[in-house]
Structure 1
């Protein structure tokens, strides 16, 4: 791939993972090679049991690879910043503080951020996810979606080089999902490497690269364009051939293209589709 020439954030070299199962072991991720360039927005998609969460935990070094190695680039900047943070699907596993504010600053204190910076970093992270007004509330009174946003705020606050969202928007209502996506976009613009893991393909609008997993193996690795739209001579897109349903905007665009309408650039959202259609006039 063209990104091979760019400096990496994470390199997976022949990585596989097997876990104990009835009668022996079960391979959850097959030998995988993956180069994730600095600052890339990588989306990982797949059905339940495809290996997405296993891959996320291997990237974060929460699981030891059965074979192969996971290599991090040298971390620039302040030594107290963690290299990678992961936002899990279940937010209850990371609740630490007695208040929302204390929960966010827990990581900042734990990693040794300068005391004079901690309050501002914590409040800025809460503002990004829309929880500033609940700073003094107990995490116990938050809704499931608010707990997910709180978990995200704690990870945003410590400014990792790589931020992994492991189906982090799955419990969120549409407005909260957009808030979380916007927070991820702002960090991406600042240079953070984003790994966004999901089953919801309408969350892939910001992705620069998509990797699809099936039975613990990579079955697609390419751009949004080549995932959602068929190349010349192909029957159906990679998305459709792999059994996924494209986002509504892409479905409409594909139907228009079948009827001979040209769309440029190729749209991935309703807003982009509207702009492409308005260009006909």
Structure 2
């Protein structure tokens, strides 16, 4: 896990309201959140809780109704967003043309475009499909192409808004592999999901409900509550938000309730295996 000391993004009393006059609806309410450089935060919550709105605020696609955001990134663009639907961001007919589109829009010199485009395609495993029509790609390959488009621009922060939710398991693992590599390279990741097994790789969990942050802490605290006084019968943030924990966590909870001291508290299958093996 990376160590953090420098803020990358500060959100100060962010509110987003839709509509006009007496027909307004609040999507975000007084959000205060600091994201450190190199951190992987996961944002979870039920549909309509404000996760996607928060993603768009961080990516600069929505202007807050009140409050302000400070981004300390030196790169330009500072933030890039990968949407849920792989079709959303594809605008050109071929793989190579599509990845060049963003580079051209950001004024990258022509002599550097091919190098950056091909490097990004190589990193997601699509360099051999440079001239393929985007319509022939699978859903997972389309999402990898979207990520490659972001990679080519080299932002400091990557925001993924449920980017694996429409993918099959194999494609989902391909996307997660690329994102984990980005994190190892020190990039800041904002990962929005309802697939709680994906929290295994994050550094910190943000739980949202009705436009507000109701939890901000470690993934272990999210799934198990207070580690120092863990009680199977006590509510924890995961249960309170109405989520079913991953099978790994369910198994670990049963073992803990039976008197087995699992340390550290496992979230991934590998962590469970190691914790059990150490008993």
Question: TM-score, length-normalised on structure 1?
Answer: 0.91
> Does the Cα contact within 8 Å between 1:145 and 1:173 map onto a contact in 2?
yes
CA deviation map 1:109-166 (0-9, x unaligned): 3223344443233223223333233221111222333222211111122110010000
Structure 2 Cα separation of the partners of residues 42 and 74 of structure 1:
17
Matched, 1:243 2:242: yes
What's 2:81 paired with?
86
What's 2:74 paired with?
75
What's 1:252 paired with?
251
Structure 2 Cα separation of the partners of residues 171 and 128 of structure 1:
22
Structure 1 Cα separation of the partners of residues 140 and 184 of structure 2:
25
What's 1:190 paired with?
185
Q: Which SS does the other structure have where 1:219 is aligned?
A: strand
What's 2:162 paired with?
167
Structure 1 Cα separation of the partners of residues 271 and 216 of structure 2:
24
CA deviation map 1:171-215 (0-9, x unaligned): 111121111111111111212110000111011111111001111
> Does the Cα contact within 8 Å between 1:43 and 1:197 map onto a contact in 2?
yes
TM-aligned CA deviation for residue 22 of structure 1: 10
> Does the Cα contact within 8 Å between 2:204 and 2:217 map onto a contact in 1?
yes
Structure 2 Cα separation of the partners of residues 66 and 13 of structure 1:
12
Q: Which SS does the other structure have where 1:85 is aligned?
A: strand
CA RMSD of aligned residues (A): 1.9
What's 2:125 paired with?
130
Matched, 1:148 2:143: yes
What's 2:6 paired with?
7
Structure 2 Cα separation of the partners of residues 21 and 219 of structure 1:
27
Question: TM-score, length-normalised on structure 2?
Answer: 0.91
CA deviation map 1:205-246 (0-9, x unaligned): 111110011111111111111111132165132212222111
CA deviation map 1:45-100 (0-9, x unaligned): 01110100000011111111001001111415xxxx31000001123232122211
Runs of 4+ residues deviating >4 angstroms: none
Specify every segment of 5 or more residues in structure 1 that has no aligned partner in the other structure, as ranges: none
Structure 1 Cα separation of the partners of residues 128 and 21 of structure 2:
49
Once the two structures are overlaid, the 10-residue window that deviates more, 88-97 or 34-43, is 88-97
Once the two structures are overlaid, the 10-residue window that deviates more, 122-131 or 160-169, is 122-131
> Does the Cα contact within 8 Å between 2:224 and 2:230 map onto a contact in 1?
no
Q: 1:7 to 1:251 in 2, by over 3 A?
A: same
Structure 2 Cα separation of the partners of residues 56 and 174 of structure 1:
24
What's 2:116 paired with?
121
One of 194, 203, 221 as aligned partner of 2:198: 203
Q: 1:171 to 1:130 in 2, by over 3 A?
A: farther
Q: Which SS does the other structure have where 1:91 is aligned?
A: coil
Q: 1:198 to 1:114 in 2, by over 3 A?
A: same
Q: Which SS does the other structure have where 1:264 is aligned?
A: coil
> Does the Cα contact within 8 Å between 2:140 and 2:175 map onto a contact in 1?
no
